[in-house]
């Protein structure tokens, strides 16, 4: 393995850990909990994956803020 490959692998691992921490913090926020309540149950079943739900929540929140 080259040094650049090791550095990229290490950076990916750190990024993944940061994303997991952020995702958990966002998922426990009152805004995210309210967002989940506002969306129909069928949406929740389709997006049962927390990663997808947080990404959708962030996208919709940023779109709202952009207006």
- The answer to whether residue 55 sits within a structural domain is yes
Cα distances (Å, whole numbers) of residue 48 to 4, 31, 32, 36? 36, 18, 14, 11
Give per-residue pLDDT as tens, 28-43: 999 999 998 988 766 6
Number of domains in the chain: 1
Q: Is residue 34 part of a domain?
A: yes
Residue whose structure tokens are 């805004």: 31
Please provide the average confidence, as pLDDT, over all residues in the chain: 83
In degrees, to the nearest 5, what angle opens at C-alpha 23 toward C-alphas 18 and 27? 155
**Residue 5 pLDDT greater than 70, yes or no:** no
Question: Rounded to the nearest 10 degrees, what angle do helices 3-27 and 50-66 cross at?
Answer: 80
CA-nearest of 41, 60, 49 to 23 is 49
**Residue ranges making up the domain that contains 61:** 21-66
């Amino acid at each position: 393995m080259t040094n650049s490959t090791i550095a990229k692998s290490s950076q990916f691992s750190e990024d993944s850990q940061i994303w997991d921490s952020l995702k958990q913090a966002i998922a426990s926020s009152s805004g995210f909990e309210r967002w989940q309540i506002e969306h129909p149950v069928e949406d929740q079943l389709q997006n049962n994956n927390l990663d997808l739900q947080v990404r959708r929540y962030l996208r919709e929140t940023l779109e709202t803020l952009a207006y």
